[in-house]
Amino acid sequence: MGVFSRQKFFQELAHGCLLPTAQQGLEQVWQLLVICLLCRLLWMLGLPSFVKHLSTIAGGFYTLYLFFELHMIWVVLLSLLCYLFLFLCRHSTMRGTFLSITVLIYLLLGELHMMDTTNWHKMRGSQMVVAMKAISLAFDLDRGVVTGVPSPIEFMGYIYFVGTVIFGPWISFNSYRDSLQGHRLSLSWLLKVSISWVKSQVCLVISNCVAPYLFPYFIPVYGDKLLRSKKRRKIRGTPAKWLLAYENTMSFHFSNYFVGYLSETTTTLAGAGFTEEKENLKWDLSVSKPLNIEFPRSMVEVVTSWNLPMSGFLHTYVFKSALQFGTFYAIMVTYTASALLHGLSFHLGAVLISLGFITYIEHVLRKRLAVIFNACVLSRKCQANCTHRNKKALWVYMINIAFSALVMLHLTYLGSVFNSSVEYLEDDEDDIAHHTIQKWSELSWTSHWVTFGCWILYRLIL
């Protein structure tokens, strides 16, 4: 949208941004939604299991072609490589570790040598989902959670489950098996699908039509003049840069919530994403928790709430496996694994590794302060029966609020590198690296300096 006065902006907002964004969003995913619903209805017919597997494989292949065309072959090759590895190493007890290394090598080689970076990055989400599914299955086989290597059709049905193959989220092999039972349609299922879809569209609209214009129009901090005006930047300096960074961060956050709620929609629509309570099904799949991110208690809460299924995957299969070497090592290995799964993007890697240090230092500092003050100031909210003496004192609330404000500063700083200009730089990692360093330099490397200061404080009071 162009530069308008505030009155003109709100007059043009509906047909200039809101309606086109919602229409484009529906046009891109309506076929995926239809295929998910068809698979759900087909599974209710009491067909043999192999027919159900074949149906979701066919649906997964078709949706992959819709989104990636012939480039989908690289996703197929990854799935074939994973099954070949599982079959050849079916008597091993280290399948999870070895398959993880194999998958990461494939992803790195694919990005560096197999095809151009732009098209590879378009498939990054699907590649991640396939990788996480295969790795989790390998670890579950090692741990006896899954009793035997599934048949090729069953494995491919899990990998190409139409509800998760494009937007995710990661689901376990046993969750996929449960979804094949073809539970009857219900009002709670329809309500869950509808609510998740509406939330996804609201988040898409906020990301595209609200966040980029937050301070010039919706919250006119500087009157009617745009922050992006060069003259305004020179006049306002640092405050304007932080407000611009917050706009970028908010837009990035809500684009993630859009994908999260959309993945809830497709997964639930296809018949997965439920828990069983006695004889009742509870359609309770949750991918993101926006309130825990926009109004955080701690960075630990943010990284967990960003993508709950992926957080569960990393905690179960990476963090717990590395915890024997120490908490700091386990945290850094987990964030490194996450960075490698996301691909060789400098800004993603820099943000994730920075998050690792920030999360660890915040955790140990608050843990130490909780001991010194005997107060509920831990990264995670204490249980009602905790042994801390000071729980609801005013100064306890002030400490927690101060850490919340600090987390919001970190999020604004880290999120400043995710703006629309990055999409045009993905062919050149040097440009992305320069963009990231420039953005953080404009904000005086504040988050990194604050994290270093917190570490110094922690060492002083240790």
Q: What is the largest CA-CA distance in the chain?
A: 70
* 213: nearest Cα among 409, 18, 405, 407: 18
CA distances in angstroms from 42 to 48, 181, 263, 270, 300, listed in the order given: 11, 11, 20, 10, 41
Question: Quick one: residue 456, left, alpha or beta (phi over 0 = left, psi -120 to 50 = alpha)?
Answer: alpha
53, 121, 342, 347: the active-site residue:
342
The token duo for 283 is 């359609």
Is 448 annotated as catalytic? no
Tracing tokens 């305004």 back to the chain, one arrives at 232
Amino acid at residue number 355: L
How far is the C-alpha of 229 from the C-alpha of 235, rounded, in Å? 10
Confirm if 250 and 214 have CB atoms less than 8 A apart. Answer: yes
Beta carbons within 10 angstroms of residue 413's beta carbon: 25
Question: Quick one: residue 449, left, alpha or beta (phi over 0 = left, psi -120 to 50 = alpha)?
Answer: alpha
How far is the C-alpha of 111 from the C-alpha of 1, rounded, in Å? 34
Exposure of 145 in the CB half-sphere (CA atoms within 13 A): 15
Catalytic residues: 342
